[in-house]
Structure 1
Amino acid sequence: MSAPVKDDVKDKVADYLEAALGKPVDLGALPDDAPLGVLGLDSLTTIGVLVALLEDAGVDLGEYADSLVTPSTLGDLYALADRFAADPEPETTTEAQPQGGTGMTGDQRSQLDFYRDKLAYEIDSADLEDALAAGQDIVVVDGRSSESYAHEHIPGAISVPHRSISQESLSGLSKAPLYVAYCDGIGCNASTKTAVKLATAGFRVKELIGGLDWWKRDNHPTEGHAGRRVEPSGAACGCAG
């Protein structure tokens, strides 16, 4: 039987989860093998938690890149927090210290920040489907015209044409959920315009990578005049590997 998790490790993990989710987290009643999805984390948010944990521990991400596996349970996070919290402080050298105490140069830090921002502000169709299936508090927003929405849209999405967005038109929407904006796909920027306006109005928002086009390419159903039903393929998302 594995040793019980130390309270300071649990507290540390809870802090990272609360920062990622933007709300209090009670880990006391959850077993170590509880999937992170029960807390509302998708794969992108989980990676953000992992990176934040390692950065704060002063870990050289490059050194561990090949040996780290993205955590999927609370126990995985506890083990990582315990493992790296016990690592000794890096030795001080006479050379210029990299930024952030992570063994990174300024350019590497900028690159990492760029990729973390992408994970924070974007979501793909597989993660969106998983989040919706798990009952996470998400509102999918179609930023195209009402005619395009009526023709075909993601099931459950609401129609909020970006050209019509105003403080008045948004007044009836709660700011508690995460809003996921989409449009036709990579050749359309209506989702970006929708996301900008929602974020400006104080909503939490992500943009769906590939829009409706990639939602359909990934074999998800749609609604509307041209809506389609699809049979589950049983194939896992290739990016989950």
Structure 2
Amino acid sequence: MSAAVKDKVSEYLEEALGEPVDVVGLPEDTTLNALGLDSLTTISVLVSLLEDCGVDLGEHADSLVTPSTLGDLYGIAGRFMEADGESGPDGEEPARGQRSQLDYYQEKLAYEIDSADLRTALDEGQDIVVVDGRSSESYEREHIAGAISVPHRSISQELLSGYPRTPLYVAYCDGIGCNASTKTAIKLATAGFRVKELIGGLDWWKRDGHATEGLEAGRLVHHADCGCAG
């Protein structure tokens, strides 16, 4: 991430907290809670940043997904600072193609999470709800330890009214051959929840050696049917 983006983010954090904030050297997965920001302060920082960059909040409604880490905030700041004419690392404005590529990678980090980062976040006690968007039968066979079952086809406004808005929701499915996590993430985001999609789903979670639960947990069982049917 460019020094200009980090400096700008540091300015917003200092203004929100009323004291200097040194982000240099902090890893991008540092949570904003660890820096002293609660949910309301985080939203205030986000709105101030977007307004200063002249962002049309109606056109970029996706930007209102509340960031949870420094990396999330860097990604959003970098996306709109560059669009607003901020210069690149060499003092020159990035070409349109380069900006598009940077936007793509920054958005991936803002909306996706891998199994290692999820495991670390859970171990740190971060406020995360892991959501299994597959069918209830697939969930019963095996699922990520501690995950809740919310088949994507069952998601409705009435169902979601019972879930808290504060946590970050991480949606997953079987893996790269299944899109139930994407469908789940879309429905959660549409309803105003903060959500990320787990890269590789249950498959890569298991490949990385993390715990699962269910009737077939720990067994190498292949099923021809896909759990994305929901």
**Interval of TM-score (by shorter of Structure 1 and Structure 2):** 0.5 to 0.7
CA-based RMSD of the aligned residues comes to 3.5
From 185, 199, 215, the counterpart of 1:195: 185
Residue 130 of structure 1: CA displacement? 0.9
Q: Which runs of 5+ in 1 are unaligned?
A: 1-8, 19-23, 64-89, 91-101, 230-241
Residue 140 of structure 1: CA displacement? 0.5
From 104, 117, 131, the counterpart of 1:141: 131
From 9, 13, 17, the counterpart of 2:10: 13
Is 1:225 the equivalent of 2:223?
A: no
Residue 228 of structure 1: CA displacement? 3.6
Higher mean Cα deviation, 211-220 or 109-118?
A: 109-118
SS at 1:37 equivalent: coil
Is 1:126 the equivalent of 2:132?
A: no
The residue that corresponds to 1:161 in the other structure is 151
Report the Cα distance in structure 1 between the residues aligned to 2:112 and 2:105, rounded to whole angstroms: 10
Asked which structure has the greater RCO (Cα within 8 Å, sep 6+), the reply is 2
Distance 1:29 1:109, change over 3 A: closer
Report the Cα distance in structure 2 between the residues aligned to 1:39 and 1:158, rounded to whole angstroms: 25
SS at 1:140 equivalent: strand
Residue 206 of structure 1: CA displacement? 0.7
Residue 198 of structure 1: CA displacement? 0.8
SS at 1:172 equivalent: coil
- Calculate percent identity across the aligned residue pairs: 60
Tell me if structure 2 keeps the 8 A contact 1:45–1:119.
Answer: no
The one-character-per-residue Cα deviations of 1:198-241 (angstroms, maximum 9, x if unpaired) are 11111111110000000011111111112249xxxxxxxxxxxx
Tell me if structure 2 keeps the 8 A contact 1:14–1:26.
Answer: no
From 12, 25, 37, the counterpart of 2:30: 37
Matches for 1:56-67 after TM superposition, within 5 Å:
58-61=86-89, 63=90
The one-character-per-residue Cα deviations of 1:134-173 (angstroms, maximum 9, x if unpaired) are 1111111000011111111111111000011111111110
Is 1:175 the equivalent of 2:165?
A: yes
Report the Cα distance in structure 2 between the residues aligned to 1:176 and 1:26, rounded to whole angstroms: 24
Residue 116 of structure 1: CA displacement? 1.2
Residue 40 of structure 1: CA displacement? 4.5
The one-character-per-residue Cα deviations of 1:170-200 (angstroms, maximum 9, x if unpaired) are 1110111111000000000000110111111
Report the Cα distance in structure 1 between the residues aligned to 2:129 and 2:107, rounded to whole angstroms: 21
The one-character-per-residue Cα deviations of 1:50-69 (angstroms, maximum 9, x if unpaired) are 453695794524x4xxxxxx
The residue that corresponds to 1:72 in the other structure is none
Matches for 1:93-112 after TM superposition, within 5 Å:
103-112=93-102
Report the Cα distance in structure 2 between the residues aligned to 1:121 and 1:128, rounded to whole angstroms: 13
The residue that corresponds to 1:5 in the other structure is none
SS at 2:137 equivalent: helix
Is 1:206 the equivalent of 2:196?
A: yes
Report the Cα distance in structure 2 between the residues aligned to 1:148 and 1:14, rounded to whole angstroms: 47
Question: Highest Rg: 1 or 2?
Answer: 1
